[in-house]
Amino acid sequence: MDISQIRSFIAVAEAGSYIKASDLLDVPQPTLSRQVRALEVELRACLFHRHGRGVRLTDKGSKFLDYARSVVHTMDTAILSVRGDGASFTGNLIIGLTPSIGRQLIPTLAPRLKEKFPLAAIKLTEGLSGALYDKVLTGQLDFALVFSPASSPSLSIEPLATEHLYLIGPDTGPDTTSDIELGQVVKLPLILPHSNQWTKPALETAAARLGLRLQIDLEIDSTASAIEIVAAGGGYSIMPGSLRKSNTLPQLSWRKIVSPSLEPVISMIMPTRLPRSELSKAASQIAKEVLLDMYQ
């Protein structure tokens, strides 16, 4: 197994076709096929299902893809780390943000990064805190901004700001702005994220301490979809208060949760056991400055 085989596998997986991947990599298709086949032999697993229009990943292929991306990203970072200063701010940069943080940061952060690092390939990806946490651990992200991450010897965690959680609902009725106690929240039909992240476990723990239990009607990992369902009268959800600043949201009621108040901490997480490029270090400093400006 070598890095060229892994790069070929990733290209075919992302293109969904040997022909398209061959064009993208400028590698003859037979060569590409041999590299992927050699990888399958090494792994003792079939990575693709062939069909008339191309290929699709098998279950084992999907499982291997995340690790393959992590390997390539780590290798590229390692190569850049030993090159001269002229290459310090080139290469790939992949940053993870939760949807609520991304809505606020990306309009300011993206232009700042492109201006500062014009030769770098910059990717900003959104996801729930739990998913971003796992991707930083496996080296798929250079760093991420998440809510209240669990401690890990493999991560550097830097707390940056405190959020407040709000109950969001349809913008109807006379009482749509006052604070609301958690004892009242648990009586409402809630739409919460399914994936392992801060919001749902924190709510369940706080409710249990009061001898209460949440009424979860739907679990959905898409913040945008949850907001649309709430706006249409399909239930209530819990969102960070900073999301209220977005100009693209539908009309909603926002009620701060109190008794107890729920305050997740926004933290920057970075891997400690993988090499970090100068680009990643410089970009994380810029992301931190933009976030702190938002919360002043």
Residue pLDDT, tens place only, 127-161: 888 889 988 988 889 999 999 998 899 999 999 99
**What pLDDT does 86 receive?**
47
Q: What number of helices (H) and strands (E) belong to the chain?
A: 10, 13
CB distance 55 to 49 below 8 Å = yes
Which structural domains are found in the chain, ordered by start? Answer: 3-64 (1.10.10.10), 83-161+265-294 (3.40.190.10), 165-258 (3.40.190.10)
**What pLDDT does 88 receive?**
58
Measured CA distances, 184 to 17, 163, 168, 179 (Å): 53, 21, 13, 10
**What pLDDT does 196 receive?**
56
The count of residues in the chain is 296
**Distance between CA 29 and CA 22 in Å, rounded?**
5
Could you give the strand order of the β-sheet that contains 143-147, starting from the edge strand earlier in sequence?
A: 120-126, 91-97, 143-147, 265-271, 155-162
Predicted TM-score of the model (pTM): 0.69
**What pLDDT does 168 receive?**
94
Assign residue 211 a region (left: φ > 0; alpha: ψ between -120 and 50; beta: otherwise).
left
Half-sphere exposure of 108 (CA within 13 A, CB side): 13
**The token pair that represents 133 in the structure block:** 């946490």
**What pLDDT does 176 receive?**
67
**What pLDDT does 175 receive?**
64
- What contacts 82, CB < 8 A, 6 or more positions away? none
pLDDT beneath 70: ranges in the chain:
80-88, 173-176, 195-197
Backbone angles phi, psi at 79, to 5 degrees: -60, -45
**What pLDDT does 52 receive?**
78
DSSP state of 246: -
**Distance between CA 10 and CA 103 in Å, rounded?**
29
Q: Which residue has the tokens 């041999």?
A: 34
**What pLDDT does 99 receive?**
87
Measured CA distances, 28 to 3, 42, 53 (Å): 17, 22, 19
